[in-house]
């Protein structure tokens, strides 16, 4: 009888700690970031133990090897103020960044000083999870910016804390197969935002299990500048407080994709036509896409004609 085998194994990185890890999730090295730790330092020899962590995420990224399966754990209470373009630059391919902690204890990145201050995802096949992003200056232009393919942004929160971000998440040209999963966007009720998620010439983008709120002059999700193909938005809620009443908009008018299933759209204007919530003649509207345009009113099923049973 042979012994049972699984994917767990023990490892000790040089200078680090012994760990028992799952090879499926930790094929490479493991790094730690904690700005609140008394021993935190962005110098050689730090980052391989939660007792001697890096002080900033960007420094830890520089310690990773490309396409090696490295994982960075950002500890509860970690906080960084981002004041410049590329203040954090995830520019090493294939790394995973996981924030630890719940609520206000999640790793928090606040963007101030310059409207161009941002957190970049600039290398392919990167993954971030459970991070809190706060726009701390009026008219911030994309506090998180994706410029690479096969990126996953999961269970992160984007929130206005001062002023209104113009766009929270920018998915730029060539960022194909980006996935935005389980994220929350809570932007200011006052006017000033164009969108929560802006997409430029990126194919097969998926937005799922998200909640989006803001006073969007353009739309909660905006496909702009150059067309994108096969966008998929489903199992989410999008709420705009702007009289423009648009939740998903293709300003290029040539993008394609599917809207739904299981999508709730909320618009501000009681007189709005239900078809205004999604503008894009080349989208397929799937089942269970509902729209409401006033409090104390039921939602309406939009742009869907049931097919009779054969």
Residue 225 lies in a domain: yes
Structural domains of the chain, count: 1
Asked if residue 178 is part of any domain, the answer here is yes
Domain span including residue 135: 76-301
User: pLDDT tens across 230-279, in order?
Assistant: 999 999 999 998 888 889 999 988 999 999 999 999 887 655 555 678 88
Do the domain assignments include residue 11? no
Is 99 a domain residue? yes
Q: What is the pLDDT of residue 24?
A: 64
More confident position, 96 or 289: 96
Band (pLDDT 50/70/90 cuts) for residue 309 is: very low
Judged by average pLDDT, the poorest of 158-172, 173-187, 190-204, 212-226 is 158-172
Residue 96 lies in a domain: yes
**Is 50 among the domain residues?**
no
Residue 68 lies in a domain: no
- Interval 151-180: pLDDT, tens: 999 999 999 878 778 899 999 999 999 999
Nearest alpha-carbon partner for 176 in 201, 193, 157: 201
Q: Which helix (H) or strand (E) holds 60?
A: helix 57-63
Give the pair of three-digit tokens for residue 65. 């090897």
Is residue 135 within 8 Å of 168, Cβ to Cβ? yes
Query: 225 vs 21, 195, 202, 252, 255, CA distance in Å?
Result: 44, 14, 11, 6, 10
Q: Quote the DSSP letter at residue 193.
A: B
Report yes or no on 309 lying in a domain: no
Report the alpha-carbon distance of residue 162 to residue 19 in Å, rounded.
Answer: 41
Read off the pLDDT of residues 63-108 as tens digits, 9 standing for 90 and up.
Answer: 999 999 999 999 999 999 999 999 999 999 999 999 999 999 999 9
Neighbours of 147 (CB within 10 A): 19
The predicted structure's pLDDT at residue 190: 84
pTM of the entire structure? 0.89
Question: Of 265, 209, 212, 215, nearest to 232 (Cα)?
Answer: 209
What CATH code is carried by the domain that includes residue 99?
2.160.20.10
pLDDT at 303 over 80: no
The mean pLDDT value of the chain amounts to: 87
């Amino acid at each position: 009888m042979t012994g049972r085998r699984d994917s767990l194994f023990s490892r000790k990185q040089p200078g680090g700690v012994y760990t028992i890890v799952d090879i499926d999730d930790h094929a490479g090295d493991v790094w730690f970031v904690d700005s609140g730790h008394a021993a935190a330092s962005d110098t050689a020899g730090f980052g391989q133990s939660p007792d001697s962590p890096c002080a900033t995420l960007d420094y830890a990224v520089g310690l990773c090897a490309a396409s090696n399966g490295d994982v960075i754990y950002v500890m509860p209470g970690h906080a960084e103020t981002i004041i410049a373009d590329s203040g954090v630059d995830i520019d090493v391919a294939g790394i995973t960044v996981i924030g630890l902690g719940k609520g206000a204890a999640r790793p928090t990145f606040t963007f101030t000083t310059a409207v161009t201050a941002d957190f970049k995802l600039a290398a392919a096949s990167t993954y971030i999870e459970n991070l809190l992003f706060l726009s701390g200056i009026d008219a911030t232009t994309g506090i998180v910016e994706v410029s690479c393919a096969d990126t996953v942004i999961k269970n992160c929160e984007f929130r206005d804390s001062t002023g209104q971000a113009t766009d929270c998440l920018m998915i730029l040209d060539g960022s194909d197969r980006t996935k935005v999963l389980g994220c929350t966007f809570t932007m200011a009720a006052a006017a000033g935002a164009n969108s929560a998620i802006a997409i430029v010439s990126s194919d097969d983008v998926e937005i799922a299990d998200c909640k989006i709120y803001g006073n969007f002059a353009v739309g909660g999700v905006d496909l702009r500048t150059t067309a994108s193909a096969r966008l998929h938005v489903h199992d989410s809620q999008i709420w705009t407080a702007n009289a423009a009443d648009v939740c998903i908009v293709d300003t290029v008018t040539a993008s394609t994709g599917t809207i739904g299933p299981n999508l709730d759209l909320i618009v501000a204007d009681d007189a709005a036509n239900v078809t205004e919530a999604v503008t894009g003649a080349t989208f397929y509207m799937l089942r269970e896409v509902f729209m409401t345009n006033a409090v104390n009113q039921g939602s309406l099923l939009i742009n869907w004609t049931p097919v009779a049973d054969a």
